[in-house]
């Protein structure tokens, strides 16, 4: 895991973008602001072969709301009764192809304090939210899927949602699905596991081993939703599975 300890951006071109996306908070009144009972203490990133994970460390866990944004693409998180114990500023995580920048802002209205994080993405993509040890975990999938002539659409929501595909012609027989993902340096192979039910257990799932970051899974039924994970292999070692990807085969 690497913490986001990035220098402040030059200029103030982005300042206030978060406010514009979320709606302006009311101006503070003359009352005395009470100390927040929740805190955001750290932002950190970790990666596996098919996903990038943003960890928002909190203490204790606050209530929050996540909203998908399209212009720019990203997710806006609002934490009630929460202050920042990191510097309110714009962070630019280095060395990744998913997150463009993260804006952290603290808003005081009346006697309450709300913290907001806007995670700007380089392209709109699927993400999943879950409670992590000591905070919130946002998982961004690196995988994309397509069903032969149909291009899958990867929605970005605050909850796990199936990837959907459509086609102009009905198919009465089984058809293949093609999975692709970002290559992993020094990996000698990849293993794709799939099932027709969520929560894949490798020992019970179907499996295919490939030597490139592309796998064609044959004989899948149109209209059926399947679930996939991928791991990377180096010698006798196998990585942890990627974030689970769901895909409905085009009819």
pLDDT in tens, 83-114: 999 887 889 888 888 898 999 999 888 788 99
Residues 25 and 136 in one domain: yes
Q: Which of 235, 231, 143, 144 is nearest to 186 (CA)?
A: 235
- d(C-alpha 124, C-alpha 68), whole Å: 9
Residues 208 and 156 in one domain: yes
Tally of residues, the chain: 251
Banded pLDDT at 11 (limits 50, 70, 90)? very low
DSSP string, 113-140: EEEEEEEEESS---EEEEEETTEEEEEE
Residues 17 and 135 in one domain: yes
Name the token pair of 86: 């990191």
- The lowest-confidence range among 93-97, 118-122, 154-158, 227-231 is 154-158
Residues 148 and 119 in one domain: no
Banded pLDDT at 211 (limits 50, 70, 90)? very high
Residues 127 and 100 in one domain: yes
Name the token pair of 101: 């920048």
- How much of the chain, in percent, has pLDDT values that exceed 70? 74
Residues 34 and 130 in one domain: yes
Q: Which residues in 167-192 are b (16+ Cβ under 10 Å) and which e?
A: beeebeeebebebebeebeebeebbb
Instruction: Give me the CATH number covering residue 196.
Output: 2.60.40.10
Q: Which of 213, 237, 246 is nearest to 141 (CA)?
A: 246
If DSSP codes are grouped into helix, strand and coil, which group holds residue 38? strand
If DSSP codes are grouped into helix, strand and coil, which group holds residue 17? helix
The dihedrals phi and psi of 136, each to the nearest 5 degrees, come to -115, 140
Residues 102 and 17 in one domain: yes
Evaluated on CA atoms 75, 160, 64, 241, the torsion sign reads: negative
pTM for this model (two decimals):
0.51
Instruction: Give me the CATH number covering residue 37.
Output: 2.60.40.3500
Domain's final residue, options 141, 166, 192: 141
Contact yes or no for 177/249 (Cβ under 8 A):
yes
Banded pLDDT at 57 (limits 50, 70, 90)? very high
Which of 96-105, 129-138, 151-160, 167-176 is most confident? 96-105
- d(C-alpha 18, C-alpha 118), whole Å: 6
> Which pLDDT does position 110 carry in this prediction?
79
- The lowest-confidence range among 13-17, 103-107, 129-133, 159-163 is 159-163
Residues 166 and 62 in one domain: no
Q: The domain containing residue 82 runs over which residues?
A: 2-141
- The lowest-confidence range among 1-5, 107-111, 176-180 is 1-5
Residues 115 and 163 in one domain: no
Banded pLDDT at 33 (limits 50, 70, 90)? low
Find the DSSP H helices in 87-201.
none
Domain's final residue, options 96, 119, 141: 141
Residues 26 and 55 in one domain: yes
> Which pLDDT does position 96 carry in this prediction?
82
Which of 18-22, 143-147, 180-184 is most confident? 180-184
Please state the domain count of the chain. 2
> Which pLDDT does position 251 carry in this prediction?
57
Domain's final residue, options 141, 162, 192: 141
Residues 131 and 20 in one domain: yes
What mean pLDDT do residues 18-46 have?
61
Banded pLDDT at 156 (limits 50, 70, 90)? very low
Residues 40 and 156 in one domain: no
């Amino acid at each position: 895991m690497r913490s986001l300890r990035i220098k402040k951006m030059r200029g103030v071109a982005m300042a206030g973008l978060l406010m514009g996306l979320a709606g302006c908070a009311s101006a503070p009144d003359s009352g005395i602001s009470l100390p927040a009972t929740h805190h955001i203490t750290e932002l950190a990133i970790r990666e596996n072969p098919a996903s990038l994970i943003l960890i928002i460390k909190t203490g204790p866990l606050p209530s929050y709301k996540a909203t998908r944004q399209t212009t720019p693409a990203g997710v806006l998180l609002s934490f009630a009764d929460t202050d920042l114990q990191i510097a309110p500023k714009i962070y630019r995580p280095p060395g990744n192809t998913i997150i463009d920048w993260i804006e952290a802002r603290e808003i005081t209205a009346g006697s309450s304090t709300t913290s907001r994080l806007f995670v700007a993405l380089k392209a709109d993509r699927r993400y999943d939210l879950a409670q992590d040890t000591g905070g919130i975990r946002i998982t961004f999938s690196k995988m994309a899927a397509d069903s032969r002539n149909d291009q899958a659409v990867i929605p970005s929501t605050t909850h796990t949602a199936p990837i959907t595909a459509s086609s102009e012609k009905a198919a009465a027989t089984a058809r293949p699905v093609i999975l692709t993902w970002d290559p992993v340096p020094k990996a000698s192979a990849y293993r794709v596991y799939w099932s027709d039910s969520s929560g894949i257990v490798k020992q019970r799932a179907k499996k295919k081993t490939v030597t490139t970051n592309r796998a064609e899974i044959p004989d899948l039924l149109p209209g059926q939703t399947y679930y996939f994970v991928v791991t990377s292999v180096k010698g006798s070692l196998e990585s942890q599975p990627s974030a689970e990807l769901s895909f409905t085969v085009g009819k």
